Amino acid sequence: MLEPMDLGKLHERAQFLLGLDDVQLLQEPTSYPRRIRFPALVQANLIDGRAGRYVEIANLLPEPVTIRAIRWRNRESGVSRPVEFAEEFRTPFEIAPTIHGQAPKFYKMYIADGGDADELVITADYGNWPQEREIIPTPYFSESPVNPVPSGSVSALLAAHPFISRSGSANELMIRQGVWQVDSDIVVPAGFTLSASQGTTLEFAEGVALISFGALQFVGAEDNPLTLKGVASGNWQGLAVIRAGQKSLLRHVDVSNTSGIHRGAWQLTGGVSFYRSDVDMDDVSIKGHQGEDALNIIRSHFDISRLSVDEAFSDGFDADFTTGEIRDSEFSNIGQNTGGDAIDLSGSDVVIDGIRFESIADKAISVGEASTVRATNLTMTRVGTAAASKDGSHLDIGSVVINDVLFAGLMAYTKKPEYGPATINAENIDYKPTGPVGRVQTGSVIELDGELLEPEDLDVDLLYETVMRKGN
């Protein structure tokens, strides 16, 4: 759950951190618990299943991981005790590596004890990172007897929504022009395309979404955009295109007041989401998203121009394992209550050009998990960090105006050690704040106009517990 963040306190933490000398900053911190807040060593879930409570653990790394201990820890006293399992389980326990391209194996262990005052703590390490780490399993949904992902038929769709009809093509559905109130989900079956044009407004009731397993062709006009919004300016859940098979097109489309799609155990954090569905977007506005990602594109190719993302509760644009280009766009008022990033890329190959960033609580551009990014012609005003490359990623960045930052201009570091160091090649950076233009952790590299910046032994855990911490 994302929690509001006091920007005044964030500024205080930034000033505190910037005021530390090298010894204070770079030494091992003692005041912050070294918990893993991402599945760096193992993915662990704590589940209340139909047959009882259990913990499931998977190794996501290409190297063996050793589980050293699994214990209960009292949240108030901090006292730990062994977990009583329904069947014998001994530590240390080595989990085999996951081969690239294959699904990880989950180990399931039923628990016979534990109370509400206790939290489960897993201690683990792996060969290239021998320091033991704590992992707190994530409370997760139990297996469902039914598939929570909605499915639909054309007959049910047409019966529920009289403003949708078949067009001349056998596999094309059309939304008639007009203002329509949508009281139940629009679910487009696979193999069908849903089209809409200028003069069309869909007003969705709270808790309602548009979920399509086929491509969308939503084309408004520059002076008369196609509008998707909540009834009476309230929230609705959003738009998702899943395994469409054909490329979608959104042009001159306004989307506002989304919250993310929730259907029991099936949840999508994006207000506008594309999963394994290529998309072109031109002159699209996404405003007032109240969930984690205003726009979320996963394992897809995209071509985006003239995108506007404003007033996003957390991240503006989150792209995972994608390829594409975004240009001539703007991000404003991103993550002001939660510390979100404007553009957050993971495992992606992306070109960024001609973007304006304003009032970004955390990073304007975050490049992570072995991404390759080229970013040019950028303007950044009131951002936490202008651009960060981390975890085996490379960022080429140039022709950038950075007007003011809360913490740093450029940063290169390792957050997830299994990926390794990161690099930045920067040139023609007009950096207006006082202080160094970049900070680089030992092992990573920032080259600015042909000169290497001096590395330092940055404690990234400390950074993420303070100036880069979300939700506080």
pLDDT at residue 41 is higher than 90: no
Instruction: Tell me the pLDDT tens digit for each residue of 381-409.
Output: 999 999 999 999 999 999 999 999 988 89
pTM of the complete model: 0.74
pLDDT at residue 263 is higher than 90: no
Confirm if 178 and 157 have CB atoms less than 8 A apart: no
pLDDT at residue 72 is higher than 60: yes
pLDDT at residue 28 is higher than 60: no
* Better-scored residue on pLDDT, 420 or 358: 358
Quick one: pLDDT at residue 465?
Answer: 64
Quick one: pLDDT at residue 19?
Answer: 54
> What SS3 string covers the chain?
CCCCCCHHHHHHHHHHHHCCCHHHHHCCCCCCCCEECCCCCEEEEEEEECCEEEEEEEECCCCCEEEEEEEEEECCCCCEEECCECCCCCCCEEECCCCCCCCCCEEEEEECCCCCCEEEEEEEEECCEEEEEEECCEEECCCCCCCCCCCCCHHHHHHHCCCEEECCCCCEEEECCEEEEECCCEEECCCCEEEEECCEEEEECCCCEEEECCCEEEECECCECEEEEEHHHCCECEEEEECCCCCEEEEEEEEECECCEEECCEEECEEEEEECCCEEEEEEEEECCCCCEEEEEECCEEEEEEEEEEEECCEEEEEECCEEEEEEEEEEEECCCCCCCCEEEECCEEEEEEEEEEEEEEEEEEEECCCEEEEEEEEEEEEEEEEEEECCCEEEEEEEEECCEEEEEEEEECCCCCCCCCEEEEEEEEECCCCCCEEEEECEEEEECCEECCEECCCHHHHHHCCCCCCC
The 10 Å Cβ neighbour count of residue 423 is: 16
Over residues 33-48, the mean pLDDT reads 63
pLDDT band at 419 (very low <50, low <70, confident <90, very high): confident
* Better-scored residue on pLDDT, 35 or 239: 239
Quick one: pLDDT at residue 462?
Answer: 75
pLDDT band at 274 (very low <50, low <70, confident <90, very high): very high
Mean confidence (pLDDT) of the chain: 86
pLDDT at residue 132 is higher than 50: yes
Selection from 17-31, 321-335, 446-460 with the highest mean pLDDT: 321-335
pLDDT band at 353 (very low <50, low <70, confident <90, very high): very high
- Is 276 buried (19+), middle (13-18) or exposed (0-12) by CB count in 10 A? middle
Quick one: pLDDT at residue 49?
Answer: 80
* Better-scored residue on pLDDT, 237 or 97: 237
Quick one: pLDDT at residue 191?
Answer: 92
Quick one: pLDDT at residue 160?
Answer: 94
Instruction: Tell me the pLDDT tens digit for each residue of 221-262.
Output: 999 999 999 998 789 999 999 999 999 999 999 999 999 998
pLDDT band at 25 (very low <50, low <70, confident <90, very high): very low
Distance, C-alpha 70 to centroid of its chain: 29
pLDDT at residue 127 is higher than 80: no
pLDDT at residue 32 is higher than 50: no
pLDDT band at 15 (very low <50, low <70, confident <90, very high): low
Which structural domains are found in the chain, ordered by start?
A: 34-140 (2.60.40), 154-465 (2.160.20)
pLDDT at residue 29 is higher than 80: no
